[in-house]
Every structure is written in C-alpha cells, then in structure tokens.
C-alpha cells in the first residue's frame, strides 16, 4: 500500500501530541479537583475520559508511525528513481558526491515530514492552544505565559539560525570525506607501496556534529532554566492573587512538562538543516536539461576547429567517412580520449560538428557546446566498464538483438574462449550465463579490453571510436585485434586513438594532436 500524501500522518501526529499533553493537564486538574471536591463530585467521568485519551494517544501514535513511514518510503523511492533518471543527463560525475545524494540527501528530503514537520507543528500548535486557553481561562497568567512563549521562540529560532549557518559547511566537509574514502579504497591495490599511508580523517566532520549537539544541549538547558523561573513566578502570582481554583495548576504543569512536549523539537533541527542543503544539491541535478540524442543514420562526421572541453590539444579539423580507418595520435594527457568522447557527443566541446554535412543545433553548457549523443556512433573506453551482471548482459549492451551464436563467435575471434564454463549438472557450455564484474568472476585488464572490442564487433553502429585498443595486450592478441579492426574498417568508419601503432594496422588517414 502506497501513501503519497503526508497530511494524514501530520494529523495523526498532532492528535498524538495533543492527547498526551491533554492527559497531563487534565490529570493535574483532576488531582487538584479531588482534593477540594465535595461529596457529589463525579470521580468516574474524569477517570473514563483520561483512559479514553490514553487509548487515543496510543492508537494515534502507532497509526502515525505506520502512515508516516509508508509515506517516507514512497517519497524516498520517488526521489531516488527521479535522481537516477536525471543522472543519465550527467555523463561525467564524482561517484562519492552522487552516492551521497542518492543515499544521505534523498533520505534527508524524504524524512522531513516524519522527522521535523510533524513534531514541530505539534509543538507550536500546542503552544498556540495553551496561549488561547490562558488568555480565556487564566488571564491573570497571560503576561507570564506570553513572556514564556516569546523566550521559547527566541531559543528555538536562535538554534535554527546556528544550524543553517553550519549546514552548508557540514555538507561540503561530509562530501569531501566521502570522496577521500572512495579514492582511498580504490587505491587498495597499491597500499603496500606506501611506507606511511595516511588514512582519511573524519575529525572535522565529527567536530561539527559535536558542536551542533552542544548547541542543542545548551538550548535544552536554557529552556529548563526558563521553566524553573517561570514556575516560581507563577506560584508567586497565585499567592498574590489568592486564586485557589483547581484549574490554576494546568499552566504550571504545562510549563514543567515543556522540556518534553516542546524541548524535544530542538533535536529535530538537524533534520531541517540536512533537508535545506539536500534540496539545493538534488535540485541541481533535477534541473539538468534532458540529454539530446541524434538517432539519424550517419554517413559522414566532419569537424572544424574542434576541441573537447578541458582538452590540451589545439583545435583540429577532419572528416570521418565509412569504410575507413582513421588514426588519432598524440602525447599522453593531451586529450585523445576526450576528443573521442566529444566526437560521439558524450562531453561538451567547442567548434563545429557536422553530421552528413549538416550542423546540429547545440545547447550552451559552461561556454562549450553539447549537441547530442550520436546513436549511430559507439565509443569504446580505454578501460571498458564491466557491469556486475552476466557475460551476455555485458555484451548485449552494444546490441540488444545479438544472438548467443553471434556473441559466442565474437568471443572466439577475440580469444576469449577461456571464459567458457561448464554446467556441472549437464556438461554443457555455459559461458554466457556466468556472472562477471564486481560480484562475479574478475577479469584481467586484457580481458576487459577485449570485452570492449567485442561490443564494437556486435554493434550495428556505422562508426566505431576505439580508445587505446592495444594497451595491455600481448603481441599475439595485438596481432589478432589489428586483424579484427582492419576487417571492421572494411564496412564501418573506425577511428583509433592509440600510442601503440602496430605495423599491420591499415589506416587510411591520420592526425597528430599538438
């Protein structure tokens, strides 16, 4: 059962809070009334009413928890699915920061109703109800109570202001720490090379959290002192006014219980702090413009004064045609990979890109131009990514219609037949169903490289962009890969970026990045 509206949970939370406070105040009146009541006083009716209020409090509390958390789970799922759909519009991002948005920040946004709105609304509505009650029933206490309310508001908003000031800094510190941890863990294979390895430190983050907790404890202490002073003042007013009605105990009891029904909202300000910073960060992704895609069949790709964003090379101009092998050369770090990514539309670029002789409308992005991903052009990374999935799933990324027979043929051509497993129960080949990647069989760098090339062989795209296809391969596999690339170039447009140039590679044209 999905609960999409938070209002029912809020109503139940208010009923729960009011019934609890009413039990306290009504019981105080009942005890005082019993002390001065005459023979005809009806003791049964107040007792039954107190029991009814207790049942209402218990049932509304459980109902509020159930409804509130149902809404929280629905909203959390919605936020995370929406964030996933938006992330596809940001093809380059920092894993640690995006993971923080998907976990901590979406949870902070989803829990705002349960963790902050319900409790704060209940507390302030109770404060408003007691103010009306005091003005109408206990006017002698009006000045004292209104003064108490104003000081409570000052303490409350002072704590909110302190939290909001620290919120942005706390977010930045936490994200930096998460990125440090991510990089630290990813560097595990070379830890042995460090004589004095330095671990990520969370000292500053914990220090900020402790500071906020100290502020909450100080606010609670101030409230406690305020309640003590206020109760003493109320009893002095009672003595001076010589009012001895049982109802007179209601307000002192409300003030003595204020640390419980009002003071507990001090601890919820962390939720508000996290919510405000999370909304700003998640909204940054939610506002991302949809990624454009160009699905037309490509016959030529021509660029003029073309430079990938953040690349170090000078602008270049060239023409990619079908049934050709274009060689892209350049020093390490000059931007060969970025040029291939920009050519296929994965990252922004400056200059002009024409498809089939026609320029594409672009979208301004940080001073560069992103004109859309070319569906008829596939880019194979320098270090192909391996999904934690079956071998079949990893290869059908390039062509969902590829048959098992075709996939097996390509694997054999690339000397990847060693990935074949045997079904122990039936003795049949089962290589395509085996699990590879992070949670399955680990692949070597050379195997990953050839998995990427297998995707290029399976694709129906007219143009293939290969990033360092020979790196990490032995001489026999390089020779085999060269033959495959030469064959691909007989029917497709192939562009190879590499610092290793085998003699057998039959390039039709080349360009040197400077």
* Distance (Å, whole) CA 30 – CA 46: 7
Domain assignment of residue 1, yes or no: no
Contact 126, 261 (CB under 8 A): yes
Q: In this predicted model, which residue has the larger pLDDT, 125 or 166?
A: 125
* Distance (Å, whole) CA 133 – CA 255: 14
Tens of pLDDT, residues 71-116? 999 988 888 888 777 766 565 555 556 666 777 788 888 899 989 9
Q: For residue 371, what pLDDT band results from cuts at 50, 70 and 90?
A: low
pLDDT of the residue at 242 = 63
Give SS3 for 493: strand
Tens of pLDDT, residues 53-63? 999 999 999 99
* Distance (Å, whole) CA 141 – CA 159: 27
Q: What is the dihedral of CA 191, 195, 196, 201, to 10 degrees?
A: 0
170 and 40 share one domain: yes
Domain assignment of residue 296, yes or no: yes
Contact 317, 303 (CB under 8 A): yes
262 and 305 share one domain: no
pLDDT of the residue at 362 = 46
Q: Which of 326, 357, 363 is nearest to 497 (CA)?
A: 326
Domain assignment of residue 2, yes or no: no
Q: Which of 467, 511, 492, 468 is nearest to 317 (CA)?
A: 511
The pair of structure tokens assigned to 497 is 């970026």
Give SS3 for 336: helix
Q: Which of 497, 462, 472, 453 is nearest to 342 (CA)?
A: 497
| β-strand partners of 134 | none
Mean pLDDT for all residues in the chain: 84
**What is the percent of the chain where pLDDT is above 90?**
34
299 and 239 share one domain: no
CA distance to 27, 30, 39, 142, 498, per residue, from 48 (Å): 11, 12, 19, 31, 86
Q: Which of 175, 171, 187 is nearest to 99 (CA)?
A: 175
Q: What is the CATH number of the domain that holds 128?
A: 1.20.1560.10
Q: What is the CATH number of the domain that holds 327?
A: 3.40.50.300
Question: Using H for helix, E for strand and C for coil, what is the string for 205-234?
Answer: HHHHHHHHHHHHHHHHHHHHHHHHHHHHHH
**What is the percent of the chain where pLDDT is above 70?**
88
pLDDT at 194 exceeding the cut of 60: yes
Domain assignment of residue 21, yes or no: yes
Q: Domain end: 254, 286, 318, which one?
A: 286
165 and 239 share one domain: yes
Burial of residue 288 (CB within 10 Å: 0-12, 13-18, 19+) is middle
Q: Domain end: 286, 318, 352, which one?
A: 286
* Distance (Å, whole) CA 280 – CA 269: 17
* Distance (Å, whole) CA 331 – CA 511: 12
Kindly report the CA angle at 396 between 297 and 492, in degrees rounded to 5? 35
Least confident interval from 225-234, 298-307, 383-392 = 383-392
pLDDT of the residue at 432 = 82
DSSP state of 492: S
33 and 110 share one domain: yes
H/E element, 261: helix 258-261
pLDDT of the residue at 166 = 80
Burial of residue 295 (CB within 10 Å: 0-12, 13-18, 19+) is exposed
Q: Show the domain range for 202.
A: 7-286
pLDDT at 151 exceeding the cut of 90: yes
256 and 319 share one domain: no
Q: Domain tally for the chain?
A: 2
pLDDT at 369 exceeding the cut of 60: no
Q: Domain end: 256, 286, 316, which one?
A: 286
The pair of structure tokens assigned to 37 is 């009541």
265 and 327 share one domain: no
* Distance (Å, whole) CA 435 – CA 439: 7
**E-assigned strand segments in 268-367:** 293-294, 301-308, 316-320, 324-329, 349-355, 358-359, 363-365
321 and 254 share one domain: no
Q: Which residue has the tokens 């909202």?
A: 265
Q: Which of 251, 259, 220, 219 is nearest to 233 (CA)?
A: 251
279 and 347 share one domain: no
Q: Which of 383, 382, 377, 413 is nearest to 494 (CA)?
A: 377
| Residue 385 dihedral angles phi and psi, to the nearest 5° | -85, 135
Tens of pLDDT, residues 409-427? 998 888 887 765 444 444 4
341 and 229 share one domain: no
Tens of pLDDT, residues 335-352? 899 999 889 888 888 888
322 and 264 share one domain: no
207 and 344 share one domain: no
Average pLDDT over residues 423-451: 72
Domain assignment of residue 275, yes or no: yes
Average pLDDT over residues 45-50: 87
* Distance (Å, whole) CA 233 – CA 256: 12
Average pLDDT over residues 489-511: 91
pLDDT at 39 exceeding the cut of 90: no
Total-model pTM: 0.64
Tens of pLDDT, residues 118-149? 999 999 999 999 999 999 988 888 999 999 99
The rounded Cα 303 to chain-centroid distance in angstroms is 37
Q: Could you tell me where the DSSP H helices lie in 262-401? A: 269-286, 336-343, 391-395
Q: In this predicted model, which residue has the larger pLDDT, 217 or 278?
A: 217
Q: Which of 83, 74, 128 is nearest to 104 (CA)?
A: 83
């Amino acid at each position: 059962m999905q609960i999409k509206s938070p209002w029912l949970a809020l109503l139940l939370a208010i009923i729960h809070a009011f019934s609890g406070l009413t039990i306290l105040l009504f019981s105080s009146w009942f005890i005082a009334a019993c002390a001065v009541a005459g023979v005809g006083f009806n003791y049964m009716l107040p007792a039954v009413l107190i029991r009814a209020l207790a049942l209402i409090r218990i049932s509304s509390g459980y109902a509020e928890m159930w409804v509130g958390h149902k809404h929280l789970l629905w909203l959390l799922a919605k936020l995370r699915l929406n964030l996933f759909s938006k992330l596809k519009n940001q093809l380059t991002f920092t894993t640690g920061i995006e993971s923080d948005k998907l976990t901590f920040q979406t949870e902070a946004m989803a829990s705002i109703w349960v963790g902050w709105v319900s409790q704060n609304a209940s507390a302030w509505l109770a404060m408003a109800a007691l103010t009306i009650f005091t003005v109408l029933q206990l006017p002698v206490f009006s000045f004292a109570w209104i003064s108490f309310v104003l000081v409570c508001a000052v303490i409350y908003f002072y704590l909110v202001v302190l939290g909001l000031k620290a919120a942005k800094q706390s977010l930045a510190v936490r994200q930096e720490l998460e990125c440090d941890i991510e990089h630290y863990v990813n560097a595990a294979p070379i830890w042995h090379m460090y004589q004095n390895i330095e671990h990520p430190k969370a000292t500053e983050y914990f220090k900020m959290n402790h500071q906020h907790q100290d502020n909450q404890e100080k606010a609670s202490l101030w409230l406690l002192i305020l309640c003590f002073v206020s109760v003493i003042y109320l009893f002095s007013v009672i003595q001076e006014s010589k009012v001895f009605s049982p109802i007179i105990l209601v307000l002192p009891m409300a003030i003595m219980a204020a640390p419980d029904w009002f003071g507990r909202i001090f601890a919820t300000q962390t939720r508000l702090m996290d919510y405000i910073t999370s909304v700003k960060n998640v909204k940054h992704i939610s506002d991302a413009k949809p990624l454009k895609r160009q699905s037309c069949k490509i016959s030529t790709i021509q660029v003029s004064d073309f430079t990938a964003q953040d690349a170090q090379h000078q602008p270049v101009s060239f023409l990619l045609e079908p049934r050709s092998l274009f060689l892209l050369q350049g020093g390490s770090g000059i931007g060969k990979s970025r040029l291939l990514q920009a050519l296929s539309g994965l990252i922004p670029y400056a200059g002009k890109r024409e498809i089939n002789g026609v320029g594409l409308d672009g979208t301004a992005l940080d001073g560069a131009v992103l004109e859309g991903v070319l569906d008829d052009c596939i880019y194979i990374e320098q270090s192909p990514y391996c999904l934690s999935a079956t071998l079949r799933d990893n290869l059908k990324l390039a062509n969902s219609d590829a048959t098992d027979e075709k996939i097996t043929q390509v694997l054999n051509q690339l000397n990847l037949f060693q990935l074949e497993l045997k079904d122990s129960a039936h003795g049949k080949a089962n290589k395509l169903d085996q699990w590879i990647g992070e949670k399955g069989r680990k692949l070597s760098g050379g195997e990953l490289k050839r998995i990427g090339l297998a995707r290029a062989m399976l694709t129906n795209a007219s143009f293939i962009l290969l990033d360092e296809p020979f790196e990490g391969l032995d001489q026999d596999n390089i020779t085999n890969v060269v033959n495959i690339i030469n064959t691909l170039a007989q029917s497709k447009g192939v562009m190879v970026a590499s610092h290793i140039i085998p003699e057998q590679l039959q390039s039709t044209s080349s360009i040197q990045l400077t």
